[in-house]
Amino acid sequence: MAREQFDLIVFDWDGTLMDSTAHITRSIQAACQDLGLPVPADEAASYVIGLGLREALQIAAPTLDPADYSRLTERYRFHYLLKDQTIELFPGVREMLQELRDDGYLLAIATGKSRVGLNRALDQVHLTSLFDGTRCADETFSKPHPAMLHELTRELGQDLTRTVMVGDTTHDLQMALNAGVAGIGVAYGAHPASSLDALQPQFVASSIAALSGWLREYA
Protein backbone atom coordinates (compact mmCIF):
# COMPACT_ATOMS: atom_id res chain seq x y z
CA MET A 1 0.00 0.00 0.00
CA ALA A 2 1.36 3.45 -0.91
CA ARG A 3 1.99 5.63 2.11
CA GLU A 4 0.39 9.04 1.56
CA GLN A 5 1.97 11.30 4.19
CA PHE A 6 3.93 9.32 6.75
CA ASP A 7 6.51 6.58 7.09
CA LEU A 8 6.81 6.61 10.90
CA ILE A 9 3.80 6.56 13.24
CA VAL A 10 4.62 7.24 16.90
CA PHE A 11 2.02 6.35 19.52
CA ASP A 12 1.59 7.40 23.10
CA TRP A 13 0.84 4.41 25.33
CA ASP A 14 -1.49 5.13 28.28
CA GLY A 15 -4.90 6.34 27.15
CA THR A 16 -4.01 5.92 23.47
CA LEU A 17 -3.28 2.21 23.05
CA MET A 18 -3.82 0.99 26.62
CA ASP A 19 -7.10 1.58 28.47
CA SER A 20 -5.35 2.77 31.63
CA THR A 21 -6.53 6.36 32.17
CA ALA A 22 -8.99 5.61 34.98
CA HIS A 23 -6.52 3.37 36.80
CA ILE A 24 -3.73 5.95 36.65
CA THR A 25 -6.12 8.65 37.89
CA ARG A 26 -7.24 6.52 40.85
CA SER A 27 -3.64 5.58 41.68
CA ILE A 28 -2.59 9.26 41.82
CA GLN A 29 -5.55 10.06 44.05
CA ALA A 30 -4.88 7.11 46.36
CA ALA A 31 -1.19 8.05 46.68
CA CYS A 32 -2.11 11.61 47.67
CA GLN A 33 -4.60 10.28 50.22
CA ASP A 34 -1.95 7.99 51.72
CA LEU A 35 0.28 10.99 52.43
CA GLY A 36 -2.53 13.17 53.78
CA LEU A 37 -2.37 15.52 50.80
CA PRO A 38 -5.30 17.23 49.09
CA VAL A 39 -6.74 14.66 46.71
CA PRO A 40 -6.95 16.04 43.16
CA ALA A 41 -10.26 15.79 41.34
CA ASP A 42 -10.54 13.38 38.43
CA GLU A 43 -9.91 16.11 35.84
CA ALA A 44 -6.81 17.40 37.63
CA ALA A 45 -5.40 13.90 38.17
CA SER A 46 -6.01 12.83 34.57
CA TYR A 47 -4.53 16.06 33.20
CA VAL A 48 -1.00 14.99 34.20
CA ILE A 49 -1.16 11.61 32.44
CA GLY A 50 1.51 11.42 29.77
CA LEU A 51 4.08 13.43 31.68
CA GLY A 52 7.03 11.79 33.39
CA LEU A 53 6.04 10.50 36.83
CA ARG A 54 7.95 13.12 38.82
CA GLU A 55 6.60 15.98 36.68
CA ALA A 56 3.09 14.55 36.95
CA LEU A 57 3.17 14.25 40.72
CA GLN A 58 4.62 17.76 41.14
CA ILE A 59 1.53 19.13 39.36
CA ALA A 60 -0.95 16.78 41.02
CA ALA A 61 0.42 17.48 44.52
CA PRO A 62 1.71 21.07 44.42
CA THR A 63 1.78 21.41 48.23
CA LEU A 64 4.14 18.46 48.72
CA ASP A 65 7.66 19.14 49.98
CA PRO A 66 10.08 18.17 47.19
CA ALA A 67 11.93 16.03 49.71
CA ASP A 68 8.84 13.80 49.87
CA TYR A 69 8.39 13.19 46.13
CA SER A 70 10.01 9.77 46.48
CA ARG A 71 7.39 8.77 49.08
CA LEU A 72 4.55 9.86 46.81
CA THR A 73 6.14 8.03 43.88
CA GLU A 74 6.38 4.85 45.94
CA ARG A 75 2.72 5.06 46.96
CA TYR A 76 1.64 5.72 43.39
CA ARG A 77 3.53 2.69 42.13
CA PHE A 78 2.09 0.56 44.93
CA HIS A 79 -1.49 1.38 43.93
CA TYR A 80 -0.79 1.17 40.19
CA LEU A 81 0.82 -2.27 40.42
CA LEU A 82 -2.13 -3.68 42.39
CA LYS A 83 -4.17 -3.91 39.18
CA ASP A 84 -1.47 -3.49 36.55
CA GLN A 85 -1.96 -6.94 35.05
CA THR A 86 -5.72 -6.45 34.62
CA ILE A 87 -5.37 -3.40 32.33
CA GLU A 88 -6.06 -4.18 28.69
CA LEU A 89 -5.50 -2.69 25.27
CA PHE A 90 -8.40 -0.78 23.79
CA PRO A 91 -10.40 -3.14 21.57
CA GLY A 92 -9.05 -3.08 18.04
CA VAL A 93 -5.56 -1.81 18.91
CA ARG A 94 -3.77 -5.08 18.20
CA GLU A 95 -5.41 -5.45 14.81
CA MET A 96 -4.74 -1.80 13.89
CA LEU A 97 -1.06 -2.07 14.75
CA GLN A 98 -0.64 -5.33 12.87
CA GLU A 99 -2.29 -3.87 9.78
CA LEU A 100 -0.04 -0.81 9.87
CA ARG A 101 2.98 -3.04 10.30
CA ASP A 102 1.90 -5.25 7.40
CA ASP A 103 1.48 -2.12 5.25
CA GLY A 104 5.11 -1.21 5.83
CA TYR A 105 4.88 1.63 8.36
CA LEU A 106 7.52 2.01 11.02
CA LEU A 107 5.89 2.07 14.47
CA ALA A 108 7.22 3.61 17.68
CA ILE A 109 6.13 4.60 21.19
CA ALA A 110 6.81 7.84 23.07
CA THR A 111 5.50 7.56 26.61
CA GLY A 112 5.59 9.08 30.07
CA LYS A 113 6.05 5.58 31.49
CA SER A 114 9.37 4.41 32.83
CA ARG A 115 11.44 1.96 30.80
CA VAL A 116 10.68 -0.80 33.29
CA GLY A 117 6.97 0.02 33.16
CA LEU A 118 6.75 0.10 29.37
CA ASN A 119 8.72 -3.12 28.93
CA ARG A 120 6.45 -4.84 31.45
CA ALA A 121 3.32 -3.57 29.69
CA LEU A 122 4.54 -4.55 26.22
CA ASP A 123 5.46 -8.00 27.46
CA GLN A 124 2.08 -8.51 29.13
CA VAL A 125 0.17 -7.76 25.93
CA HIS A 126 2.73 -9.41 23.59
CA LEU A 127 3.37 -6.34 21.44
CA THR A 128 7.11 -5.83 21.85
CA SER A 129 7.98 -7.13 18.40
CA LEU A 130 5.60 -4.73 16.59
CA PHE A 131 7.55 -1.58 17.50
CA ASP A 132 10.72 -0.41 15.81
CA GLY A 133 11.64 2.05 18.57
CA THR A 134 10.43 3.25 21.96
CA ARG A 135 11.29 6.17 24.20
CA CYS A 136 10.37 6.63 27.89
CA ALA A 137 10.30 9.63 30.20
CA ASP A 138 13.11 8.33 32.43
CA GLU A 139 15.47 8.13 29.44
CA THR A 140 15.16 11.68 28.14
CA PHE A 141 13.15 14.89 28.61
CA SER A 142 9.48 14.58 29.55
CA LYS A 143 6.71 15.67 27.19
CA PRO A 144 6.06 18.24 25.80
CA HIS A 145 9.80 18.64 25.17
CA PRO A 146 10.51 17.41 21.60
CA ALA A 147 13.44 15.15 22.55
CA MET A 148 11.53 11.84 22.37
CA LEU A 149 10.45 12.47 18.79
CA HIS A 150 13.78 13.87 17.71
CA GLU A 151 15.60 10.88 19.18
CA LEU A 152 13.23 8.34 17.62
CA THR A 153 13.44 9.86 14.15
CA ARG A 154 17.25 9.94 14.34
CA GLU A 155 17.41 6.37 15.62
CA LEU A 156 15.14 5.08 12.85
CA GLY A 157 16.58 7.29 10.12
CA GLN A 158 13.28 9.05 9.44
CA ASP A 159 12.32 12.54 8.30
CA LEU A 160 10.37 14.68 10.77
CA THR A 161 8.06 15.76 7.95
CA ARG A 162 7.15 12.10 7.33
CA THR A 163 6.43 11.38 11.02
CA VAL A 164 3.16 11.66 12.95
CA MET A 165 2.53 11.56 16.72
CA VAL A 166 -0.71 9.98 17.96
CA GLY A 167 -1.80 10.75 21.52
CA ASP A 168 -4.66 11.41 23.90
CA THR A 169 -3.27 14.48 25.68
CA THR A 170 -2.27 18.03 24.95
CA HIS A 171 1.22 17.03 26.14
CA ASP A 172 1.47 14.66 23.16
CA LEU A 173 0.24 17.20 20.62
CA GLN A 174 2.38 20.01 22.04
CA MET A 175 5.40 17.71 21.81
CA ALA A 176 4.53 17.08 18.17
CA LEU A 177 4.34 20.83 17.49
CA ASN A 178 7.61 21.41 19.34
CA ALA A 179 9.32 18.67 17.34
CA GLY A 180 7.98 19.77 13.97
CA VAL A 181 5.93 16.65 13.28
CA ALA A 182 2.24 16.18 12.53
CA GLY A 183 -0.16 15.33 15.33
CA ILE A 184 -3.28 13.20 15.65
CA GLY A 185 -5.40 13.36 18.79
CA VAL A 186 -7.59 10.65 20.29
CA ALA A 187 -10.56 11.81 22.35
CA TYR A 188 -11.22 8.56 24.25
CA GLY A 189 -8.29 9.04 26.69
CA ALA A 190 -7.27 11.58 29.33
CA HIS A 191 -7.96 14.96 27.69
CA PRO A 192 -11.20 16.15 26.04
CA ALA A 193 -11.53 16.72 22.32
CA SER A 194 -11.88 20.50 22.81
CA SER A 195 -8.43 20.68 24.42
CA LEU A 196 -6.91 18.55 21.66
CA ASP A 197 -8.57 20.60 18.90
CA ALA A 198 -6.93 23.75 20.25
CA LEU A 199 -3.54 22.37 19.16
CA GLN A 200 -4.73 21.91 15.56
CA PRO A 201 -4.00 18.23 14.98
CA GLN A 202 -4.68 16.76 11.56
CA PHE A 203 -7.47 14.66 13.05
CA VAL A 204 -9.09 13.87 16.41
CA ALA A 205 -10.37 10.30 16.59
CA SER A 206 -13.35 9.41 18.74
CA SER A 207 -12.45 5.71 18.84
CA ILE A 208 -9.84 3.18 17.78
CA ALA A 209 -12.03 2.34 14.79
CA ALA A 210 -12.04 6.00 13.73
CA LEU A 211 -8.27 6.27 14.22
CA SER A 212 -7.62 3.10 12.26
CA GLY A 213 -9.90 4.25 9.45
CA TRP A 214 -8.19 7.64 9.18
CA LEU A 215 -4.72 6.12 9.16
CA ARG A 216 -5.77 3.60 6.52
CA GLU A 217 -7.13 6.34 4.23
CA TYR A 218 -4.84 9.32 4.82
CA ALA A 219 -1.57 8.23 6.42
Query: Could you say which of 12, 19, 168, 172 is catalytic?
Result: 12
CA 27 – CA 8 distance, rounded (Å): 33
Query: Could you say which of 7, 14, 168, 172 is catalytic?
Result: 14
From 185, 191, 174, select the one nearest 214 (Cα to Cα).
185
CA 56 – CA 153 distance, rounded (Å): 25
Question: Please, which residues have CB within 8 angstroms of residue 176's CB and are 6 or more apart in sequence?
Answer: 149, 164, 165, 167, 182, 183, 201
Q: Assess whether 123 carries a catalytic annotation.
A: no
Q: Assess whether 197 carries a catalytic annotation.
A: no
CA 16 – CA 29 distance, rounded (Å): 21
Task: Provide the residue type at 181 as one letter.
Answer: V
Half-sphere exposure of 169 (CA within 13 A, CB side): 25
- The catalytic residues are 12, 14
